[in-house]
């Protein structure tokens, strides 16, 4: 039995970029340090940062207590982002919203 040869013309390489369901597609800024987000898989829900930005332990999120800065939320590379390289973990956000419809950061 002879080994079968496959010519370059016969071989097909298909490269695909996986669509991570937890990538954020849209973000809408709401009153009281909340966001409405929609993910690539259609999941939608709320993100509530009100307790976090007002907390003494807010850390890097303390700057978001400025309503003008908070209002600059946008989507960059599938994550909710603000100026100053501040962002939210989209995978954790997606998991919480799938469970309860809201992600509350305390």
Strands 86-87 and 34-39: what pairing? unpaired
Distance CA 20, CA 91 (A): 9
- The band of 12, judged by pLDDT with boundaries at 50, 70 and 90, is low
pLDDT of residue 8: 52
Q: What is the pLDDT of residues 21-78, one digit of tens each?
A: 899 999 999 999 999 999 999 999 999 999 999 999 999 999 999 999 999 999 999 9
Domain range list for the chain: 24-104
CATH number of 24-104: 3.30.2020.10
pLDDT of residue 21: 87
Tokens at 101, concatenated: 């419809």
Residue closest to 88 by CA, chosen among 41, 53, 42, 43: 53
Distance CA 35, CA 27 (A): 7
């Amino acid at each position: 039995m002879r080994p079968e040869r496959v010519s370059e013309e016969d071989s097909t390489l298909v490269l695909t970029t996986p669509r991570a369901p937890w990538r954020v597609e849209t973000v809408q800024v709401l009153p009281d340090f909340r966001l409405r987000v929609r993910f690539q898989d259609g999941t939608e829900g709320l993100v509530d940062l009100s307790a976090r930005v007002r907390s003494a332990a807010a850390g890097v999120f303390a700057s978001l207590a400025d309503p003008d800065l908070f209002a600059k939320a946008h989507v960059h590379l599938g994550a909710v982002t603000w100026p100053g390289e501040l962002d939210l973990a989209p995978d954790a956000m997606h998991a919480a919203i799938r469970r309860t419809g809201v992600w509350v950061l305390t």
